[in-house]
Amino acid sequence: MRALIIGSSGQIGGVLTGQCASRNIAASGAGIGGEELRLDLAQPAAVKEVFAQARPDIVFLCSAMTYVDGCERDPELARRVNALGPAAVAAECRARGARLVYLSTEYVFDGQAGPYGEDDPVNPVSVYGRTKLEGERAALSLAGALVIRTTVVYSYAPAAKNFIMQLISNHRSGTAMRVPKDQLSNPTYAPALAAAMLDLALKGACGVYNVVGPEVMDRYAFALKACSVFGFDPSFLEPRLTAEL
C-alpha cells in the first residue's frame, strides 16, 4: 500500500509519517513545509501532478490553515486551504480510486455543550470551523472517505507550537503564561491519534469518527498536569477566564 501524507511537516502528519514507516507502509509527504512533493492547497491545480508522482492508494489529508486568528483575518485564504484544496484532493482520489482520510476538528461545533458525539449537530462559529466543515463535506462526498475529528493535540515536537511546547518554552524563558480555566477539552496525544488514524484506515472505517484523549479537563488543569510530569514549578501559569483573554 502506498500512502500520501499531505502536511507531513506538521505535528500530526510528522508523527503519522513515522508510524507508517514502522508499519512498513510506503509513504510520500506533500505540503509547503519542505516535503519531497510540493503541494500548496491554496493552489489546487497542483494536486493532479502530486498524485501522478505519488500514485497513492490512500491519502491522509493533515494539512490545514490551523491558525484560528489568521483564518478570521483572511477568510478567503482559509477557505482555499481548508475547503477548496481538500475538495480538489477528494476529486483526484475519486479519479484515481484512492481512499481519503481527512483530519478535522472540534471547531465544527459551537462549544456550548459537549463532549460531542459524531451525530451531534455541527454549528461552527469561526472561519476556521466553517472552512474545516466545508472540507469535511467535500471529503465525505467521496465514497468510503474517513473523517477524523480531534481536539487539543499535543506531543513533544520542538518545531511545533502546540500547547505543551508553548508551556515548555514559557517555563524555560521564565515568561508568565495566561491559561484559560473555563475551556474544557480532551487533550489528545499525537502518537495515539496517529495510531488510531492508521488502525481505522486499515480496518476500512468510513464516515465521521471523533478521536480524542480519554480525559476531559480544563486547559489550566492540563497545564498543571504537564508541570507535574515535567517537574516544573507552576507559578508561571496564570489561570484566566476566556473572556479576559
Ligand X SMILES: NC(=O)c1ccc[n+]([C@@H]2O[C@H](COP(=O)([O-])OP(=O)(O)OC[C@H]3O[C@@H](n4cnc5c(N)ncnc54)[C@H](OP(=O)(O)O)[C@@H]3O)[C@@H](O)[C@H]2O)c1
Q: Which residues are catalytic?
A: 128
Give yes or no for residue 132 binding ligand X (CB under 6 A).
yes
Q: Rule CB under 6 A: choose which of 4, 37, 65, 78 binds ligand X.
A: 65
Give yes or no for residue 63 binding ligand X (CB under 6 A).
yes
Alpha-carbon dihedral 131, 50, 191, 142, rounded to 10 degrees: 50
Nearest residue to the partner ligand X, using Cβ: 10
Tell me how far, at minimum, the Cβ of 235 lies from ligand X, in Å: 26
E runs forming strands in the chain = 2-6, 26-31, 37-38, 58-61, 99-105, 146-150, 153-154, 177-180, 184-185, 188-189, 207-210, 217-218, 237-240
9 versus 170: smaller Cβ distance to ligand X: 9
Q: 212 and 188 in contact (C-beta within 8 Å)?
A: yes
Q: Rule CB under 6 A: choose which of 41, 89, 139, 227 binds ligand X.
A: 41
CA distance 17 to 29: 8
Stretch that binds ligand X, among 56-64, 138-146, 197-205, 219-227 (CB under 6 A): 56-64
CA distances from 208 to 68, 117, 119 (A): 22, 10, 9
Tell me how far, at minimum, the Cβ of 233 lies from ligand X, in Å: 26
63 versus 170: smaller Cβ distance to ligand X: 63
Q: Rule CB under 6 A: choose which of 5, 152, 211, 226 binds ligand X.
A: 152
Going 219 to 224 to 229 to 232, the CA torsion angle's sign is: positive
Q: Rule CB under 6 A: choose which of 4, 5, 13, 142 binds ligand X.
A: 13
Q: Rule CB under 6 A: choose which of 1, 2, 18, 32 binds ligand X.
A: 32
CA distances from 239 to 126, 179, 218, 220, 244 (A): 24, 5, 10, 6, 10
Stretch that binds ligand X, among 6-14, 112-120, 214-222, 226-234 (CB under 6 A): 6-14
Q: Spell out the residues 6+ positions from residue 171 whose beta carbon is closer than 8 angstroms to its own.
A: 177, 227, 230, 232, 236
Give yes or no for residue 56 binding ligand X (CB under 6 A).
no
Which residue ranges make up the site for ligand X (CB under 6 A)?
7, 9-13, 31-33, 39-42, 62-66, 81, 103, 105, 132, 150-153, 160, 162
